[in-house]
Amino acid sequence: MYIKVTLLTSVLILMGMATSARQSEVTETGGVLDQYVAEALAANLTLKQENLAYEQSLQSLAQSKALFMPSAGISATYSLAQGGRKISFPIGDLLNPVYTTLNQLTDSQQFPQVNNEEIQFLPNRFHETKLRVVQPLFNSDIWYGYKAQQQMVTVQQAKRQAYETQLKGTVREAYFSYLQSVEAIRIYESSLNLLDEQVRVTQSFFDAQLVTKDAVYNAQLERSKMDTQLNDARKNEHLARAFFNFLLNKELDAEIEVDSQFSGDFALPQAIVENSGNLTELALQQRNELQQVQQAQEATNYLVKLNEANRIMPNLAVIGDLGYQGFDYKFNGDQQFSMLIFSLQWDLFKGGARKAKYQSAVLQKTTLETQEEQLKKQIELQVIQAYEEARSAANNLSSAEYALKTSESAFKITQSRFQQNQVLPLEFQQSQLNYTNARLSYSIAKYNLLKSVNEVDKVISSL
């Protein structure tokens, strides 16, 4: 029983494995491949790095949000000073004549003489211990920086999802390559058994003097060629196994379970008829890479607004101080103080730096817009290529199916006649070779179809 591929089916399969209906079916069946994909998503080291980068972006967003809240901190200073600049205060010269006159008038010594003072500018044994609370009232840097960071979180999320889709597609393709190598080994082993039988029968014909010795040599030669091809197939199986396990971050020689839905013949999934135009529209809606660029544009737009606001708007904050200040380390009512400060900062001129930053943000936004247009064209091209590859793979599978059926029928007839010595050994070898090649071509076409449909899923981000 073979796969039935018609012209309508070649269009139907293009959305197969990509529609939500198929996705729900796969989830319900819980196939082996889906379990492997889940393992890859859980164990892949690069995806873990992307998850960590996403978590870091969330923490950066939390930091940006915290800037809206008041900040409080305690600061304490205690200074010891000696020398430095001084100021002379002639308080004695000013008061002593007055005090002398008063003493004479009162005939007493109630007013003592006062020495002149020298006061140094650097305070000695002076402390200031305070609690400072700062609350931004209006700050364009904080507001637009927070909005830009919100978009950067979305950018990182889209980047992570894009890699996740890429990983799913790569794991599925690697799995199909492994199944193809396993099936190739099975075909070569089966053909080798047929060649062993041919060598035996040809030898019996030679012993009965029905054929010459060269027929035996030719049969042995074909058997040797098939053995070489089998060794190559086993090598390819080992390489495919190693690569698949590498994607899952497992031991490279770990056993791989074969999913029954892909072994032997398989039924094509039922899907809605779509064309490349619909697929392109779907890809433009779902591709995470495009969402990543678009969100980066939004983030850059806020940076443009931030730099524009810095050119025309001030920053306003309120500051509250409560603490103790004075000589010697004391905490009493004489040293206690409180202060409320309203701070306004408005940079009027910075040598053109603000204008340059603004222009740089505008250019960055324009660059991202250009990247978006280029990415859209690339996505359209990828969809067309995947669509045509899927159509070609479906047609090739149909041809391979027909070739397999005819070569199998021809081989069975030739084999029966060969056992009755009614055909030449070379004719039997050619028939057997045609049948083996047809089986290999059918297997290759089958898995190429699966790979091409998987590629359609990948380019429209439906995995």
pLDDT per residue as tens digits for the range 288-307: 889 999 999 999 998 888 88
Cα 337 versus chain centre, distance: 55
16, 17, 23, 26: CA torsion to nearest 10: 110
Burial of 84 (0-12, 13-18, 19+ CB in 10 A): exposed
- Backbone CA torsion sign across 95, 96, 97, 103: positive
Round the average pLDDT of the chain to a whole number and report it: 84
Q: What is the pLDDT of residue 276?
A: 59
Specify the pTM.
0.72
Per residue in 321-361, pLDDT (tens digit) is: 999 999 888 888 889 999 999 999 887 777 777 788 888 88
CA distances from 202 to 55, 78, 217, 363, 432 (A): 70, 108, 9, 79, 14
Q: Return the domain boundaries, the chain.
A: 7-71+136-315+353-459, 82-122
- d(C-alpha 363, C-alpha 152), whole Å: 18
Residue 119 dihedral angles phi and psi, to the nearest 5°: -115, 125
What is the pLDDT, as a whole number, of residue 421? 79
Q: Does the pLDDT value for residue 10 go beyond 80?
A: no
In this structure, are residues 237 and 182 in contact, taking their beta carbons and an 8 Å threshold?
yes
CATH topology of domain 7-71+136-315+353-459: Outer membrane efflux proteins (OEP) (1.20.1600)
Give the closest residue to 172 by CA, choosing from 33, 46, 47, 26: 33
80/76 Cα distance (integer angstroms): 14
